A = this chain, B = another copy of it.
Amino acid sequence: MERDFYWILLDLALILFATKSLGILMKRLGLPQVVGALLAGILLGPSVLNIVGGSNTLKTFAEVGVIMIMFTAGMETNIKQIKSAGFASLVITVLGVVIPMGLGFVTACLFNGGFHVPREQMLSNLYFGTILTATSVSITVATLKELGKLNGKAGTAIITAAILDDIIGLCVLSFIIGMKNPTVNPGRTLINTLLFFIFAIGVGLVVNFIFKHLEKRYPHNRRMPIYSLVICFLFAFCAEVVFGIADITGAFIAGVVLSGMRSHKYIEHRVDIGAYLIFAPIFFASIGINNEFVSFDTNTFFFGLTLIVLGMVGKFIGCGAGALMFKYDLRDAAFVGIGMMPRAEVLLITVQKGISNQFIDADFMPYALGLVIISSLLTPILLKVFNKKELKPLNT
């Protein structure tokens, strides 16, 4: 153990250096930094240099990183904005969830033995649908800001939908993970999921009451982020161990519960610093480290490619159609559809969760990475193309 520990210091140094350096490089190429972090993991791991192995310690750091990322994702939820979002945003979100999820599910069925398969295969197919739901719109937001369209109709719809689809996706994911145990029936899982949300709301109300009192006295005090992390870890633990649904759902909901606080930006910022200083880089690198990208399988290849395409097309059609239904003009509808295409952290986290729960084969990870890269590269280009095009006259 002692000797082990010192070598972990070297692992940490190598991972932090490689993830940050490749992250910066990818950012220059217009890609999310997370792509660089994944490539760093592939580079350091057994696929290429083989100088960092997947130890249990790194695994624990990675898992804590996932919990913290999901927590900050939850904290970004603006409940007020969702309340005021109205019916249009809701329909855009639901269509943007249902269509890619359905397309993913059907594709998975077609590639994996059709629609009459055992329960585990069915759950796996459903899981493939679920991973396509969660967007990561930071690239969209940056591009819309650049184009001066962020505060328009499309921008508001995108931000609301991006938050809501995380929540819906996580509910479905929790349900599927809850169903993993073969002795458990759907009703029981549904009750567990519901019970967790009742627990979360109940505890959340009490915590909010106490925290609002605390933050009035100590608005920008170290204790606020630390106590928030306590809630995060506690919710993640309870979601997984007590209610049998995913720990990431617990962490996300803990973030949602605390997102209404006045000092939520401060808390989120602090936790974000803590997460991205050590834990999150280790998580993204560990994906690359733990996946040996050598095996190639034609079936997986075409399945993966189809999911990459449908992941983007599904969001475009679902969200775009939803926008058109509510009389968005063509340009705004295209903005919404394209803007919802990018995937990043949450996709990778849900895929990794699927692999560790044996719903998804580890071979699929490169295609998940492909969806992140392609959707991140295409989105800003397409947004700019549609911004220039003369579309308005068609509709107005």
Contact pick for A241, options B6, B20, B24, B57, CB 8 Å: B6
Of residues 19 through 48 on chain A, the ones whose CB sits less than 8 Å from some CB of chain B are 20, 24
Copies in the complex: 2
Q: Given the known A-B contacts A241-B6, A270-B273, are A226 and B13 also in contact in the complex, defined by CB atoms under 8 Å?
A: no
Whether a CB of chain B sits under 8 angstroms from the CB of A386 is: no
Tell whether, in the assembled complex, residue A223 and residue B20 are in contact, meaning their CB atoms are under 8 Å apart: yes
| Cα A13 to Cα B203 with chains together (Å) | 15
Of residues 221 through 280 on chain A, the ones whose CB sits less than 8 Å from some CB of chain B are 222-223, 225-227, 229-231, 233-234, 236-237, 240-241, 247, 270-271, 273-274, 276-278
Tell whether, in the assembled complex, residue B270 and residue A9 are in contact, meaning their CB atoms are under 8 Å apart: no
Query: In the complex, which residues of chain B have a beta carbon less than 8 angstroms from the beta carbon of A56?
Result: 1, 56-57
Q: Would you give the 0/1 interface string for A1-21, flagging 1 where the beta carbon is closer than 8 Å to chain B?
A: 110011111101100110010
Tell whether, in the assembled complex, residue B274 and residue A233 are in contact, meaning their CB atoms are under 8 Å apart: no
Query: In the complex, which residues of chain B have a beta carbon less than 8 angstroms from the beta carbon of A59?
Result: 1, 5
Tell whether, in the assembled complex, residue B10 and residue A277 are in contact, meaning their CB atoms are under 8 Å apart: no
Shortest Cβ gap from A359 to chain B (Å): 14
Tell whether, in the assembled complex, residue A273 and residue B274 are in contact, meaning their CB atoms are under 8 Å apart: yes
Whether a CB of chain B sits under 8 angstroms from the CB of A60 is: yes
Shortest Cβ gap from A161 to chain B (Å): 28
Tell whether, in the assembled complex, residue A20 and residue B226 are in contact, meaning their CB atoms are under 8 Å apart: yes
Contact pick for A278, options B8, B10, B229, B234, CB 8 Å: B229
Residue of A9, A12, A240 ringed by the most chain B CB atoms within 10 A: A9
| Cα A222 to Cα B281 with chains together (Å) | 12
Query: In the complex, which residues of chain B have a beta carbon less than 8 angstroms from the beta carbon of A10?
Result: 233-234, 237, 241
Tell whether, in the assembled complex, residue B277 and residue A237 are in contact, meaning their CB atoms are under 8 Å apart: no
Query: In the complex, which residues of chain B have a beta carbon less than 8 angstroms from the beta carbon of A233?
Result: 9-10, 12-13, 16
Tell whether, in the assembled complex, residue B60 and residue A222 are in contact, meaning their CB atoms are under 8 Å apart: no
Query: In the complex, which residues of chain B have a beta carbon less than 8 angstroms from the beta carbon of A109?
Result: none
| Cα A221 to Cα B90 with chains together (Å) | 37
Q: Given the known A-B contacts A17-B227, A223-B24, A229-B16, are A5 and B278 also in contact in the complex, defined by CB atoms under 8 Å?
A: no
Q: Which 7 A-B pairs have the closest CB atoms?
A: A13-B233, A274-B277, A9-B237, A13-B234, A9-B233, A17-B230, A10-B237
Q: A13-B230, A274-B274 are in contact. List 16 more A-B contacts (CB 8 A).
A: A1-B56, A2-B356, A5-B60, A6-B241, A7-B237, A7-B241, A9-B234, A9-B240, A16-B229, A56-B57, A57-B60, A222-B276, A271-B277, A273-B273, A274-B277, A274-B278
> A residues within 8 Å of B by Cβ?
1-2, 5-10, 12-13, 16-17, 20, 24, 56-57, 59-60, 63-64, 67, 222-223, 225-227, 229-231, 233-234, 236-237, 240-241, 247, 270-271, 273-274, 276-278, 281, 356
